[in-house]
Amino acid sequence: MAIATSNTSAPPIAPVTTQPPRYGAPLATVTTLFFMWGFLTCLNDILVPHLKSIFDLNYTRVMLIQFAFFGAYFIFSIPSAKVVDWIGYQRSMVVGLLTMGIGAFLFVPAASAPSYPLFLAALIVLAAGITCLQVAANPYVTVLGKPETASSRLNLTQAFNSLGTFLAPFFGGLFILTAAPDMNQVRALAPDALQAYRLHEAATVKMPYIGLGIALVILAIAIGSFKLPKIEHAQHQLGEKLNDSIWRHPNLIFGAIAIFVYVGAEVSIGSFLVNYFGQPEIGGLTEKVAASFVAFYWGGAMVGRFIGSALLQKVKTGGLLGICAVCAAALVAISMLTSGHVAMYSIILVGFFNSIMFPSIFTLGVAELGPLTGDGSGILIMAIVGGAIVPVAQGWIADHIGIHHAFFLPVICYLYILFFALSGSKPNSERYANP
């Protein structure tokens, strides 16, 4: 009798495949933050001529706007890095947004006084929030994916930062700037009339900054409610011992200096453009018209970052950074040595070549830091203090030799960036590799 048998062999087990994590949604979420701090930072370029006329300031004193704003990076960057270690990247972004909101609301009492020191205090609080946001968001983008595409990713998100800087001058020109006053008539006003004039002119900043403050609070609530992925390998806890130090990474140190001079050069140029284009030998433009041209300076950076994001998929970051540094230095020199439309459009075109500099320097600076990425980010963001020091220095030079030829200072800054691109950006794995 035949015995029936059944096939009891187990079916083959399908191999387990691990899907790589998808970071598109978190990257898009964080990109909104880049837009907001770009928008608020560039509004300073509108505040400079506006407060200059309200309080009758010279170039050196009005550049205290940038000194107060970017000086906050120096004060708050290292504490912000510790906040990241303490509560993580996402919560640090929320803290930064809420602090920015408080700073925006402080413009209301500053305009109601009206008081130049109170405006500076509001800017410091606003910048403290942006510092915390930058310390958290920049390195978060660099580690949110493959290391070899970090520069491309950061350039893409920074392109939306530049979209904010492109739109801000139009916004500021429409809602903040008024018709340029005759300063001789203003100086002749009686004390009560002068106070009334300042009160009226300063009041134009209230509604724009109230609206921005509300938007920042809403954005903070939205970011806090999202579930963003944690990047454990790029973060360490407070008190955790590491067998490494940020001071053992020369690319970070040279990168911090490069960030210092880059932000200093970019902010110096942007801060002077409204007054520069108003010079008879350059453009003879009114403040409102000049503000629209400032938008093209920042718009060039936006276009350049979109293009740079694509190029950096195929081109080495250091090489492209070096090319941009040479072009920027040459264009500033051309503007100094010419007049009229050539001087105007050459300085505007500098914005295009500024485009990839910050994200590229930042990416090269934090390369191979691992768990020290947050601390390294704090050092690099602290170096943004260059935006406080270089514009004041250029303001002093402009008061003594004129605004036209004071631009030699940014040229020196771009030459250092060329050095960093060619040599200073090499990480330890390249610096000490066997030939």
Whether residue 11 is contained in a domain is answered as no
- The model's pLDDT over 162-199, given as tens digits with 9 standing for 90+, comes to 888 888 888 887 888 765 566 667 777 888 888 888 89
> Half-sphere exposure of 242 toward its Cβ, with a 13 Å CA cutoff?
19
Q: With contact defined as beta carbons under 8 Å apart, do 414 and 325 qualify?
A: yes
Residue 105 covered by a domain: yes
Range of the domain at 185: 25-228+244-431
Instruction: In whole angstroms, give the CA distance from residue 30 to residue 28.
Output: 6
Give 105-135 pLDDT, tens digit per residue: 999 999 999 999 999 999 999 999 999 998 8
Which whole-number Å values give the CA distances from 315 to 152, 325, 426, in the listed order?
10, 16, 16
In a domain, 151, yes or no: yes
Q: What is the mean pLDDT of residues 50-75?
A: 88
pLDDT band with cut points at 50, 70 and 90 for residue 103: very high
Is pLDDT of 67 > 70?
A: yes
Token couple for 407: 């631009």
- C-alpha radius of gyration, the chain, whole number: 24
DSSP letter string, 24-60: HHHHHHHHHHHHHHHHHHHTHHHHHHHHHHHHT--HH
In a domain, 389, yes or no: yes
Other Cβ atoms within 10 Å of 304 Cβ, number = 23
Note the pTM of the prediction, 2 decimals.
Answer: 0.74
Within-domain flag for 306: yes
Whether 148 maps to a domain, the answer reads yes
Counting the structural domains of the chain, the total is 1
- Domain CATH number, residue 250: 1.20.1250.20
What's the rounded Cα separation, in Å, for the pair 297 and 295? 5
- 2 lies in a domain? no
Whether 111 is covered by a domain: the verdict is yes
